[in-house]
Amino acid sequence: MSLRAVESERISIARPVVAKVETTRFKLEQTQGEDLFALWCMFTDYSKLRVYLPTTWQECLDRKIGIHVAAELSDKAFEIVQHMTDEFARNIPTSVLPQKSQVV
């Protein structure tokens, strides 16, 4: 069979018609309990960093790591705390947090 014979026998297949798909977007409401849980998680993470940093400096005193490593780890920990705080403030409404008059 020659190339010309194959070309003449090509079958034309129509492309399927795809209907336009509508996208529905939902925004989930965040309950006060979820917001308070997020706050608790953030404070738990802060606590873990607070416990971790002194051990880093103790390793520096014990000459297991260099001072530049301990300083860099401390700097990164503070950056993480700043980022977490900014992200929390951006996403959690302030009405969830207790007001000064409610704090005992």
- Say what the pTM is: 0.56
Domain that holds residue 58: 29-95
Which pLDDT does position 82 carry in this prediction?
95
Domain count of the fold of the chain: 1
Which pLDDT does position 102 carry in this prediction?
56
Per-residue pLDDT tens digits for 38-54? 889 999 999 999 999 99
What average pLDDT does the structure give for the chain?
A: 81
Is 14 inside any structural domain? no
Is 20 inside any structural domain? no
Q: What does the H/E/C string look like for the chain?
A: CCHHHHHHCCCCCCCCCCCCCCCCCCCCCCCHHHHHHHHHHHHHHHHHHHHHHHHHHHHHHCCCCCHHHHHHHHHHHHHHHHHHHHHHHHHCCHHHCCCHHHCC
